[in-house]
Amino acid sequence: MTSAAAGLACIIGTARAMACAALLLAWPLVVADTASADDGVKTRPANCRLSAPSSWRGLQVEWIGPCTNGAANGAGVAIARAAGQPPERFYGTVTAGQMTEGVFDIPDGYRPARFEKGEPVTLDDRSQIIAAFRVAASAARDVSSRFKAARNTQAARDYAEAAERLENQMD
């Protein structure tokens, strides 16, 4: 995912704003900062709100996916970053700025989850787990398509491969 990450850095990097203008048009983007917000939600820039789970509080969270009425809405990927640590990703769906269903891709494995009151609930029902991976794979494919449309072939390939891995996880 290194190349995709580089692509994302391109999207949010101010120094490359001109070069990335087309990408910004292609992908409504949220950079949500949960560190300083009392309600856990603060958008930066204030154009697309995303409420991240409390375990991501204090981390820089990016959203690549659709945005409706000022809130993340639809399938995409949220990426949480902390200095010196590998990023965590959430592939899945968001409704009106609230995560609903998907899979966390963390350094030691995958965590499928559905959300209740903004917090992830661990799934232990196999049907639900399979469904969560299906949602996550579809979200990764959507992100891949967005990168492909923007002609960022490396990021498109990375997310397509992520989709493949998510699709294949459950037998």
Q: Is 38 in the site for another protein (CB under 8 A)?
A: no
Pairing of strands 109-116, 29-33: unpaired
Place of tokens 């232990």: 124
If one asks whether residue 24 binds another protein (CB under 8 A), the answer comes out as no
> Binding to another protein by residue 106, rule CB under 8 A?
yes
Strand partners, 114: 101, 121
The residue among 39 and 108 lying less far from another protein, judged by its C-beta, is 108
Smallest distance, another protein to C-beta of residue 165, A: 7
Which two three-digit tokens encode residue 139? 């979200």
Query: Does the footprint of another protein cover residue 88 (CB under 8 A)?
Result: yes
Query: What backbone torsions phi and psi does residue 42 show, to the nearest 5 degrees?
Result: -150, 125
In this complex, which beta carbon is closest to another protein, that of residue 129 or of residue 140? 129
Alpha helices, DSSP H, located in 43-150? 126-149
The only residue of 9, 119, 151, 153 in contact with another protein, by rule CB under 8 A: 119
CA 151 to chain CA centroid, Å, is 20
- Distance from C-alpha of 114 to C-alpha of 104, rounded to nearest angstrom: 10
Q: Is 55 in the site for another protein (CB under 8 A)?
A: yes
36 part of the interface to another protein, by CB under 8 A:
no
Verify binding: residue 91, another protein, rule CB under 8 A.
no
Query: Does the footprint of another protein cover residue 5 (CB under 8 A)?
Result: no
Check residue 10 for interaction with another protein (CB under 8 A).
no
Please report how close the Cβ of residue 92 comes to another protein at its closest, in angstroms: 11
Give the CA-trace dihedral at 40, 45, 47, 53, to 10 degrees: -20
